[in-house]
Structures are given as structure tokens and as C-alpha cells.
Amino acid sequence: MTEVSLGGASREKLGLLLDELGAPSYRGDQIRVHAWRGTAFGFDQMVNLPTGLREQLPQRIRWSSLSLVEATVADRGMTEKLLLRAADGQEVEAVMIRHDSSTTSRERRTVCVSSQVGCAIGCSFCATGQLGLRRNLEAQEIVDQVLEAARRWGGGGLGAPTNVVYMGMGEPLQNYSAVVASIRLLQEWGVAPRRVVVSTSGLVPEIDRLAAEELPLRLAISLHATSDEVRDRLVPLNRRYRIAELIEAGQRFAIRTGRRVSLEYVLIAGVNDSTEDASRLRRLAAELRGHVNLIPMNRIPSSQLAAPALPWCREFAALVGPRATLRFSRGDRATAACGQLRAAMEADRRRLQRTDLRLAGSP
């Protein structure tokens, strides 16, 4: 059986496969419509395909490179977190987030995808960083996170994903080739690059490389501190690429692509939430001409770090100014933010293993 999944097959590749099977090329569009709209959850359910083709397809292409392990729902069904397992047993998380339309924006269905199993950056406030890096995801494993969301939304009559953000587990630009390949594959599925956001903790050479790809996506820089001294502790990558270098790279990206760059800033009580931090952050945002997303820190078991009190979060946002928006993690309310659902599942497994061992040793 081939190791290529439907999500990893470009239109051209799927067309060549169908040609080998003696099927007309338009069958490829039928297959993709089923997968994207959630009208089938396997090749065998695609009733408008000939029986013979339905039987042949699973032998040549995998339905998905990932299988669902766990799903948690929050926000009255507006947020859903998925724990997904790859063929080698490694697990990653994706978050499905729905936004209602408003006077200033239309309805959005956003999928927050992971790009790695774990992460090597080691940010002190991040649950994923505690896992370490297990491996990079393949392009098809990234796309299949979006297809899983598409099937779940489509099957419920809610519509297909409109936006994709690379803000899940891992540092996307450390898995550069697979991430860019996945963005191009998603473009074929109907997610325009303009509706894609890639978040990075600060790999300056890769930011410049991404700017040259001619993909009009948006870049989000995970800043989290306004001084190199503090950022060295929070984001170890800062020891290689300083804040000034990172802001300059963001400026180059914005000039090259014509797309706004945003700053992500996790608020941590007593660490990066002083009035001086607010003043410096305001200046950095002005230099970048970008928006600042202020995110109170998510809870992490065993960590002493915590978010500031809500009134101070609001005051901090006011001090940063009109470029700042205070946001709360939707993933946090669906059993925590990136890495925490997997961490919780692993903790449960370890507890069960210890229980089994104790029972095995009982007389």
C-alpha cells in the first residue's frame, strides 16, 4: 500500500493515479469534494464512484495519514480540539475554531495546525516545549489535520475551513519544506495563502526565505518579551537572533510581501507585564507597523508561571495602545493550549501503567 494520503496528493498526482486505474480525471474532483465537504468518511462511502474504483483506491492511496484519538469541545461547540495519531504512533494536536460573523468580519472557520511532534525551541511557558522534539510532520500530515476538520465541520453542515494558522505544536520554520509544501497543497483544496498565518519564534533566515516564496500569507512573530535579557530566558532561540534582528526581519517580510506582520505576546505575571514592557512593546509594534495580540498565559501543570490578573491584562493592553488586542486562547478552554491535551493523555497513560503494575504485583 502506498504511503501517500489523499491530503498529500496534489491534483496532478491524483489525476495520474486515476489514469493508471483507468478512471477519467473528473473522478478526482468528485473524490476531493467528498473529502472537503464531509459527505464521505472513506472511499467506500463515495457512492457516485464506480464500485470497482472504490475498491481499488484504498490499495493505492491512504484516506488519511492520521487517525482521531480524542476530541474535546468547548465554547458551546465553537471550539474543538483534536488529538490525532500518525502511523508511527506519534500524536499531534489541532484546534477547530469557529467565529460568527460580525459588523466588521465575516464568519470564519479556522484550523490551528501542528507542524512538528513536540518542539525543540524550549519556551519556558509552553506545554509543547516540555515534550521536546520527537520529529517533523510530513506535508500530508499537516494537510490531513485540516481535512479532518473539514470532514467534521462539513458532516455537521457547518461548511469547510476558511482559514489555517500554523500555531499548534512545533516551530513551523524548523520544518520549512514540509510547511511550505502543505500551504501549496492547501491552496489546491481551497484555502488561499492570504488566509494562512505562519507563526515563528524567530528564525530570521527562514523568515527571509519565506518572504521570497511569493505566497501572500501572513507572518506572526512570537515575541513574548521586550528586552533581550528576558527573552533569552523565555525563548532560548533569542540567544541566536536578537529582538532587533527579528523586528528587522519582520519589516523585510512586510515590504517584500505587502502583508502585515503581527506580534504574539504571552502575558506572564511579574515577568513581562510591567509598564516599561508595555511602553517598549508599543514602540516595537510601531516600528513593525504591526498588530499585537496579547494572550494571558495558559495554565501549565507543574509550572510556577501564571497570567496576570485580568484587570491588569486590560490595563496593559491599554498602555500598549490601539495596535494591541487582548485575546484569550480558545484552545485553552478545550482542554488547554497546544501540547496540553497530549500531555494530559500521556499522564493518564502513565497513571494506568502504574496502576496495572501495582495490580500485577498484588497477591
CA nearest to 121, candidates 268, 218, 241: 241
Q: Is 112 a catalytic residue?
A: no
Residue bearing cell 489555517? 164
Angle between helices 275-288 and 243-257 (to 10 degrees): 30
Alpha carbon distance 260, 133 (integer Å): 30
How many other C-beta atoms are found inside a 10 Å radius of the C-beta of residue 306? Answer: 17
Q: CA–CA distance from 72 to each of 16, 82, 106, 238, 299 (Å)?
A: 38, 7, 25, 34, 17
Residue 91: alpha-carbon gap to chain centroid: 14
E strand or H helix at 99, and its extent? Answer: strand 91-99
Listed in sequence order, the residues at least 6 apart from 107 whose beta carbon sits closer than 8 Å to its beta carbon are: 98, 99, 100, 101, 162
Q: Is 93 a catalytic residue?
A: yes
Catalytic residue among 112, 123, 126, 338: 338
Report residue 351 as a C-alpha cell: 497513571
CA nearest to 97, candidates 188, 186, 197: 197
Listed in sequence order, the residues at least 6 apart from 348 whose beta carbon sits closer than 8 Å to its beta carbon are: none
Give buried/exposed letters for 40-68 (b at 16+ CB in 10 A, else e).
Answer: beebeebeebeeebbebbeeebbbbbbee
Catalytic residue among 80, 91, 93, 141: 93
Catalytic residues: 93, 338
